[in-house]
Amino acid sequence: MPELRKDPIIGRWVIISTERSKRPDQFANSGEGPTEQECPFCEGSESKTPAEIYAIRPHHSEPNTPGWKLRVVSSIAPFLRIEGELERQGKGLYDMMNGVGAHEIIVETNQHINNICDLNEEDIAKVFTSYIDRITDLEKDQRFKYVLVFKNYGWSAGGGRIRHSRSQLIATPVNPKRVKEELAGSHAYYNYHERCIFCDLIKQEMDTKERIILEADGFIAVCPFAARFPFEVWILPKKHSCDFTSLDMPMRLNLAYIMKQVLSKLKKGLNDPPYNYILHTAPFRRPSKAGYWKTIDRDYHWHIEIMPRITRVAGFEWGTGFYICPLPPEDAAKFLREIKV
Amino acid sequence: MPELRKDPIIGRWVIISTERSKRPDQFANSGEGPTEQECPFCEGSESKTPAEIYAIRPHHSEPNTPGWKLRVVSSIAPFLRIEGELERQGKGLYDMMNGVGAHEIIVETNQHINNICDLNEEDIAKVFTSYIDRITDLEKDQRFKYVLVFKNYGWSAGGGRIRHSRSQLIATPVNPKRVKEELAGSHAYYNYHERCIFCDLIKQEMDTKERIILEADGFIAVCPFAARFPFEVWILPKKHSCDFTSLDMPMRLNLAYIMKQVLSKLKKGLNDPPYNYILHTAPFRRPSKAGYWKTIDRDYHWHIEIMPRITRVAGFEWGTGFYICPLPPEDAAKFLREIKV
């Protein structure tokens, strides 16, 4: 059983994963790179994955058989386990709980396509629909506080040996530290200014235009002012909303358009780089919550952060939480703006 | 001139470096690995580096000539610039300041040795002496609030193409976010328990022994309870002290012993893995400070964090500030304990 453990000094939670454990000596530095394996995610290989939790497939077709457009399955080596009650315990000064949660793989297409930007917009919108449906379902489980949706594309972004296009989600019984920091920061800004900080940021970016990559129906794509990485991109909905799951189908199609544009620009301009993207959306807002949790709808603004992995993160960043970005975001935005896709 | 920019939502500072800027298209994914270059850090190549700021060399020998044991030089591509007044300014909702700071390279030996663990203990102690002397000197500059000392060893730890053993330091006009979090966390613990959290942690680890790698005169080496990475190691002084610069010579030699032991165990047990280490020490404690800055001497406890870079950090970690560690620290400690060096 995996464990969730809390750093006693700064309060960061860590999953100590036991499911995918190797022996200590198997971690030795091998310098090994990617080698393609037989793909378990293609149509016709349904028996090679755990049973499907969710699928977009014709209504007469059987689960775990061909014919689907998109499938969600449990991870074969889950970071967290769905079974069991959540138990918190102390060990001297340390806090821990058992690793209850969900870890699911969203297989985005039945074809062996690698990069989501090579799907058509309608199929990309289906991916967002599956995120919404899975988050909404997992919200019913009172053990969970947050669902983190992310994508690892390419070997050095943690994408693994199989290149079939997919996303992952993890439902966690704790709120991630970064999420709490964003909520606290946007709450403090609202209290002072009586405006959403993200709405203000969007307005300022649309005025100055220097960090805008693309403006489209309902969304903008910008390189953030304090970018951590070269070509870091945030996609923000222009209309205030804290919750990704409230996105209707026309807006999902708009989001699919801008995501396809931006990811295609990265692919073309930077020679198909590895990247991660992360959905930043509000945690589950349950009635029992107090403090700044009461005003999340007002304070927070969902968005997607895309991080190409083209520079190595060195020791400086790990030790301090502050980053060195070797390319001004204004230059990155100009470069991406000018790439035609 | 580089800039320091603050993320408006969570308050993280980022250095936007302009000195080492490449054109945007030069960031394209090349998959290139390390190739060894001619080393500018070996004895006899003094003219290939910026002028020395500090050296351990015989008293009759000239600066920037052979004969030295250890040299500190400015970085040839500094992240921050030493010249200029610190100017804060706003740009709409954004905060920034000009990138004033220092970025120095500590060349740890005149020989072309790669890994600090292959120096003898006396020479490793000289490295710590140079850290102390440089921090103490930079503290006099009222523009700076913190000196971050770190090492990037090996290509995937950001070590660059030249493998000559060296550390880096960066003096910053802001306190790094992670440092503030550690200070706030240890302050809160002291206020509740009237004890130092690190002293309590050391006591608990010495009682249970399951995460101890090595106990030596004055120091312990442990795999932390909530390790972020396989084989993450913290080196802690058993005696309470917030400030690395107060370390006397006998203790520097003790630290050299335990660092050499631990880094040699990593090298032998894990096939010479890339790693980073970061010195976590108190920021400059100036009289004007209020709040928890008044009690740093009481609350905080300096230490060194060593992070082998043998697994890739995936999207999950970036988006949440919470980590998945695939090896329980108890197993890592046992493995390292048993390696004979």
pLDDT digits (tens, 9 = 90+) for B16-63: 987 656 777 777 766 555 556 689 999 999 999 999 999 999 988 999
A34-76+101-338: CATH topology: HIT family, subunit A (3.30.428)
pLDDT of residue B127: 98
Q: Do B27 and A311 touch (CB under 8 A)?
A: yes
Q: Which residues of B touch A211 (CB under 8 A)?
A: none
* A21/B326 touch (CB, cutoff 8 Å), yes or no: yes
Residue A323 has a pLDDT of: 84
Do A25 and B329 lie within an 8 Å CB cutoff? no
The answer to whether residue A20 scores a pLDDT higher than 70 is no
Q: Taking residues A44-73, report their average pLDDT.
A: 95
* A30: pLDDT strictly greater than 90: no
A322·B176 Cβ contact <8 A: yes
Burial (CB count <10 Å: 0-12, 13-18, 19+), residue A173: buried
Between CA A141 and CA A197 the distance in angstroms is: 31
Angle between helices B177-193 and B197-208 (to 10 degrees): 80
In this complex, the residue of B179, B200, B320 whose CB is nearest that of residue A178 is: B320
Cβ–Cβ below 8 Å for B225 and A5: yes
What are the pLDDT digits (tens) for A224-267?
Answer: 999 988 999 999 999 999 999 999 999 999 999 999 999 999 99
**C-alpha dist (Å) from residue A330 to A227, B168, B281:** 10, 28, 35
Q: Closest partner residue to B16 among A20, A315, A328, by Cβ?
A: A328
Taking the whole predicted model, whether its pTM rises above 0.90 is answered as yes
pLDDT at B277: 95
Q: Give residue A77's pLDDT.
A: 83
Give the nearest chain A residue to B33 (CA atoms): A31
- The answer to whether B168 contacts A316, with C-beta atoms less than 8 Å apart, is yes
Look at A15 and B325 and tell me if their CB atoms are within 8 Å. yes
Judging by beta carbons within 10 Å of its beta carbon (0-12, 13-18, 19+), is residue B340 exposed, middle or buried? exposed
- Tell me the domain boundaries of chain B: 3-338
Mean pLDDT value across chain A: 91
Largest CA distance in chain B: 59
Which tokens in the block code for residue A179? 């999420």
Put simply, the answer to whether B94 touches A226 (Cβ < 8 Å) is yes
- Please indicate whether, in this complex, the C-beta atoms of B9 and A198 are within 8 angstroms of each other: yes
Contact B119, B108 (CB under 8 A): yes
Confirm if B243 and B337 have CB atoms less than 8 A apart.
no
Whether residues A327 and B272 touch (CB distance < 8 A) is answered with no
Reported as type and span, the H/E element at residue A261 is helix A249-269
Q: If you measure CA to CA, which chain A residue comes closest to B155?
A: A312
Whole-number pLDDT of residue B329: 95
Q: How far is B278 from chain A (nearest CA, A)?
A: 6
Q: Say how many C-beta atoms besides its own lie within 10 A of residue A90's C-beta.
A: 9
Q: How far apart are CA B217 and CA A210, in angstroms?
A: 57
B221 or A156, greater pLDDT: B221
DSSP annotation of B41 reads: S
A193-218 pLDDT, tens digit each: 999 999 999 999 999 999 999 999 99
Whether B315 sits inside 8 A of A327 (CB atoms) is: no
Nearest to B178 among A5, A278, A321 (CB): A321
DSSP string, B75-103: -SS-SSBSSS---EEEETTEEEEE-B-EE
Whether A7 and B226 lie within 8 Å, measured CB to CB: yes
- DSSP letters along A45-80, please? -GGGSPPEEEEE--TTSPTTSS--SEEEEE-SS-SS
| A152-166, A248-262, A290-304, B296-310, range with the lowest pLDDT | A152-166
Q: Which residues of A touch B201 (CB under 8 A)?
A: 8, 93
Q: Quick one: closest CA in A to B231, which residue?
A: A24
How would residue A101 be classed by pLDDT, with cut points 50, 70 and 90?
Answer: very high
User: Which parts of chain B have pLDDT scores under 70?
Assistant: 19-21, 29-37, 312-316, 318-319
B314/A9 Cβ within 8 A: no
Asked if residue A27 has pLDDT above 90, the reply is no
In this predicted model, what pLDDT tens digit does every residue of B275-291 receive, in sequence order?
A: 999 999 999 988 877 88
Residues in chain B within 8 Å Cβ distance of A318: 276, 278, 307
For residue A244, give every residue at least 6 positions away whose Cβ sits within 8 Å of its Cβ, in sequence order, or none: A131, A132, A135, A279, A281, A302
Burial class from Cβ neighbours inside 10 Å (0-12, 13-18, 19+) for residue A120 reads exposed
pLDDT at B11: 87
HSE-up of residue A64 (Cα within 13 Å, Cβ side): 9
- Across the range A145-169, mean pLDDT stands at 90
Chain A environment of B198 (Cβ under 8 Å): 9
Shortest distance between the Cα of B179 and any Cα of chain A, in A, equals 6
A339 class by beta-carbon count within 10 Å (0-12 exposed, 13-18 middle, 19+ buried): middle
Q: Which of A25, A174, A310 sits opposite B27 (nearest CB)?
A: A310
* Residue among B17, B182, B335 minimizing CB distance to A25: B335
Which of B156, B174, B226 is opposite residue A312, by nearest beta carbon?
Answer: B156
Contacts of A102 (CB under 8 A, 6+ apart): A74, A78, A80, A82, A138, A144, A169, A170, A171
ipTM value: 0.89
- From the list B257, B242, B235, B247, the residue with the least C-alpha distance to B306 is B235
Helix count and strand count (H, E) for chain A: 7, 15
Per cent of chain A over pLDDT 70 is: 94
CATH 3.40.50.300 for domain B3-338, yes or no, is no
In this model, does residue A319 exceed pLDDT 70?
Answer: no
pLDDT > 90? residue A102: yes
Q: Can you spell out the DSSP letters for A112-138?
A: ----GGGS-HHHHHHHHHHHHHHHHHH
